[in-house]
Structure 1
Amino acid sequence: MALLHSLRTPAEIARTIGANAKAIRLERNFSRETLASRSGVSAQTISRLENEGQVTLSNLILVAVALGCTEGFDQLFKKKAPATLEDLKKPVRKRGTQ
């Protein structure tokens, strides 16, 4: 896996996301049980997210919705708009072609 664009490992990024979720939960004054009830995700899963960064994508989205933190999810893998005229001139690769 190429990590040339980032100095952080996937595990570090996941742990940061978990720590951020915990900080928002505490800021909202939610217990894990309260967040579990609001999100439909078990308190054990929330604990695993916060402490280890381990969670499924669907559970992460449920927790984000319950915390009011969904902004940016739909931008995660969005294709960037061309920044220059040269970018516009670049040929677009079609599926199955070189």
Structure 2
Amino acid sequence: MRTGSEPTTARSPLRTRFWLSVWGLVWAVFGTVAFALAGRTGWAVACGVLALIVAVDMTFIVRHIRQGPHYQPGPDIPPYNPPEDR
């Protein structure tokens, strides 16, 4: 039995964030290629920079997923009390 105040069915948003990054990377690469073929150099560079940012973010997401769950206090640790408004 859990004694903490956290939800018992909490899930990490990392996998959702990973798939949204994949979606963004696909569109950024598509935009880079499409604008480069259309002769819009500025837009192609902007999409390329966005693709680079998304790729870096994806590496951090994958790193966090591979780290696995971090330390969580057990049932013998009391939950944090909410701050009291005075």
Larger Rg: 2
Same structural fold, with TM-score higher than 0.5 when normalized by the shorter chain:
no
TM-score by length of 2: 0.33
TM-score by length of 1: 0.30
